[in-house]
A and B are shown apart, each in its own frame.
Chain A
């Protein structure tokens, strides 16, 4: 694929200019630029904080420099994957900002509503032509209603007021929500009850729907429409057939409505808001970046869990991004760049492995053929009469080389094996015992110390594969010891994981080598001693079982390889 066909295929737009002088309004997912200077690279990354920047060097051939560089380093598929990740990241960031703005707007909204209630309350009071007793009653009701602090309290008050007219009346609120579901509220033994019910926006159908929801026959039912926010519904009254209170009730509700309606709105908003805050706080706290919302006097309004773990020293190592949220608030994000780079490196590694798997099967097959031929020809040559000792040795060496090539091939095929073998619950302790038995001869030369806990240390894995990992680690330890040395193996339980350590008293591993030691085909052993696949294969196996593997070493002080798997509880 070339740059242009990639752009075409994915419908990306290409923008070409000087990356450093580009106007701020230009944004990009990926930035390619030709440079050989680290200083320049830093400047470009600073200008494009949300983009992934590739500093590329010019390769003198007829192709576009980007194409030439990609063909030597990354693949377009990898670039595509990274771009997707960056997009998800950036859109998450935007969501937080929108969310914060929403929240602030909501608070303002609540404030406005409260003011409106107060004004309405005053207007209602001033309404003329009210009878003296009615004004008194309204006054009392408004007074109490404005003191209510929850929907429950308001309902209790309203129901009490209605029952004052006639204790036999039952009162309900039927709310139709925009998502085509309905909720019914009513008081039962002074407590607010609520239940989901079928959607009903036809006043005539309410008596039937009410009977179905309550699961009992209803008496005479009449309704008064209600509108709150984006919801509609009814005040529903149930009374005896003979009673003639309908007009009176509807008149009363009409009088109360100016206060009840905004209050119900107010309480619903408060509920929504508290739900929103909980949701948002959970999201906010779960993020792996440190986040803090500050006002213009640099006072912390809210911070997430990750931010609480950061001190000034730690912050210095993180990338700081600032977003304005409103006029006097801003959001600061502290990003761990190393972690992102680590993710990128892991992705590149995964890609490499997948490609390796794809070609391994074919490669192994193609190479097996000539290798078999070489070996057979060598056997025939060896059987010839009149060969000198020197020639015989040479031919034997060729045959050994063929055998080693076959061994590499077999390891490659193991690596490529896609199928996931069934796992079992097995004892790591037993696996260790059987592996040390297998390696009796190699381990015999050294002083071996094994320490295991008394329990059986159960893990979930595939027995042969797990044994292969242990085999690799123990054999590596033996090979690291040039002369008689010490090998110490121990098992430990930590945080519901079972760790196994293999420590040798060999020459240790340099920091440089430690970084590469789990990569395929990396080996420090002499030619012919190792294929460079043992440890990378081990890592692949351990990760397949949801564990991890690593090494701790200092040059001259030996090396300790470790891996862990999740502990399975003893039956």
Chain B
């Protein structure tokens, strides 16, 4: 599967990248919101892991700029639900919200794969 990872924390980005590659996915990783938009348009990912607080563009701003392919599954990642308290996630096309800290990174990827298949 084609997976896009957008997180400005290098260790999180790297870990997600490694697990995805280990499981045989094609991965693109962005360090900020603007890069995320560019890579999204270029790769047309099937699964997107999107952090909210990022430099240049926030995850929510990225979603507003992207013309979403209906099949793409979007998993929003944030440390606090306060970040999107004024937004309706379903209107932005978000399929799932994952709160940081997450306990098991491999499990996170497996769940995303299942979500895509369903």
Knowing A380-B15, A380-B19, A406-B101, the reply to whether A369 touches B9 (Cβ < 8 A) is: yes
Q: Is the CB of B101 within 8 A of A371?
A: yes
A369: min CB distance to chain B, Å: 4
A365 CB–B CB distance under 8 Å = yes
Q: Is the CB of A365 within 8 A of B105?
A: no
- Bound CA–CA A376/B103 (angstroms): 8
B102 CB–A CB distance under 8 Å = yes
A118: min CB distance to chain B, Å: 81
Q: Is the CB of B106 within 8 A of A372?
A: no
B5: min CB distance to chain A, Å: 12
A378: min CB distance to chain B, Å: 9
Chain A residues with CB under 8 A of B82: 361
- Bound CA–CA A383/B104 (angstroms): 12
Q: Is the CB of A376 within 8 A of B12?
A: yes
A370: min CB distance to chain B, Å: 6
- Bound CA–CA A375/B100 (angstroms): 11
Q: Is the CB of B79 within 8 A of A368?
A: yes
Chain B residues with CB under 8 A of A372: 9, 12, 79, 100-102
Interface centre among B16, B104, B105 (most CB of A within 10 A): B105
Number of chain A residues close to chain B: CB under 8 A: 18
Chain B residues with CB under 8 A of A377: 11, 14-15
Q: Is the CB of A380 within 8 A of B18?
A: yes
- Bound CA–CA A375/B101 (angstroms): 9
Interface centre among B8, B19, B100 (most CB of A within 10 A): B100
A374 CB–B CB distance under 8 Å = yes
- Bound CA–CA A370/B53 (angstroms): 13
Knowing A379-B105, A380-B18, A380-B19, the reply to whether A373 touches B79 (Cβ < 8 A) is: no
Residues 53-109 of B contacting A (Cβ, < 8 Å)? 53, 79-80, 82, 100-102, 104-106
Q: Which residue of A lies closest to B80 (CB)?
A: A365
- Bound CA–CA A361/B80 (angstroms): 9
A117 CB–B CB distance under 8 Å = no
Interface residue from A364, A365, A374, A406 paired with B11 (Cβ < 8 Å): A374
Q: Is the CB of A376 within 8 A of B53?
A: no
Residues 12-37 of B contacting A (Cβ, < 8 Å)? 12-16, 18-19
Q: Which residue of B lies closest to A369 (CB)?
A: B9
- Bound CA–CA A380/B108 (angstroms): 13
Q: Is the CB of B11 within 8 A of A370?
A: yes
Chain B residues with CB under 8 A of A406: 101
Chain B residues with CB under 8 A of A361: 80, 82
Q: Is the CB of B100 within 8 A of A369?
A: yes
Q: Which residue of A lies closest to B79 (CB)?
A: A368
The number of chain B residues touching the other chain, given as a range, is: 20 to 34
B48: min CB distance to chain A, Å: 18
Residues 349-389 of A contacting B (Cβ, < 8 Å)? 361, 364-365, 368-377, 379-380, 383
Chain A residues with CB under 8 A of B10: 373
Q: Is the CB of B9 within 8 A of A379?
A: no
- Bound CA–CA A378/B13 (angstroms): 14
Knowing A376-B16, A377-B14, the reply to whether A370 touches B79 (Cβ < 8 A) is: no
- Bound CA–CA A376/B101 (angstroms): 9
Chain B residues with CB under 8 A of A373: 9-15
Q: Is the CB of A379 within 8 A of B104?
A: yes
Chain A residues with CB under 8 A of B18: 380
Q: Is the CB of A376 within 8 A of B79?
A: no
- Bound CA–CA A383/B106 (angstroms): 10
Q: Which residue of A lies closest to B11 (CB)?
A: A373
Chain B residues with CB under 8 A of A365: 53, 79-80
- Bound CA–CA A377/B9 (angstroms): 12
- Bound CA–CA A376/B51 (angstroms): 15
- Bound CA–CA A570/B82 (angstroms): 40
Chain A residues with CB under 8 A of B19: 380
Q: Is the CB of A376 within 8 A of B80?
A: no
Q: Which residue of B lies closest to A364 (CB)?
A: B79
Chain B residues with CB under 8 A of A379: 15, 104-106
Q: Is the CB of B12 within 8 A of A369?
A: yes
Interface residue from A364, A369, A380 paired with B105 (Cβ < 8 Å): A380
Q: Is the CB of A369 within 8 A of B15?
A: no
- Bound CA–CA A364/B11 (angstroms): 18
- Bound CA–CA A402/B12 (angstroms): 14
Chain A residues with CB under 8 A of B104: 379
- Bound CA–CA A365/B82 (angstroms): 11
- Bound CA–CA A380/B102 (angstroms): 14
Q: Is the CB of A369 within 8 A of B106?
A: no
B50: min CB distance to chain A, Å: 14
B115: min CB distance to chain A, Å: 19
Chain B residues with CB under 8 A of A383: 106
B58: min CB distance to chain A, Å: 13
Q: Which residue of A lies closest to B108 (CB)?
A: A376
Chain A residues with CB under 8 A of B14: 373, 377
B49: min CB distance to chain A, Å: 12
Interface residue from B15, B16, B101 paired with A368 (Cβ < 8 Å): B101
Chain B residues with CB under 8 A of A369: 8-9, 12, 53, 79, 100
29 CB contacts below 8 A, A to B, read A361-B80, A361-B82, A365-B80, A368-B79, A368-B100, A368-B101, A369-B8, A369-B9, A369-B12, A369-B53, A369-B100, A370-B9, A371-B101, A372-B9, A372-B12, A372-B100, A373-B14, A374-B11, A375-B101, A376-B16, A376-B105, A377-B11, A379-B15, A379-B104, A380-B15, A380-B19, A383-B106, A402-B101, A406-B101
Q: 6 other contacts beyond A369-B12, A369-B53, A373-B10, with CB at 8 A cut-off?
A: A365-B79, A371-B101, A373-B13, A376-B11, A376-B16, A377-B11
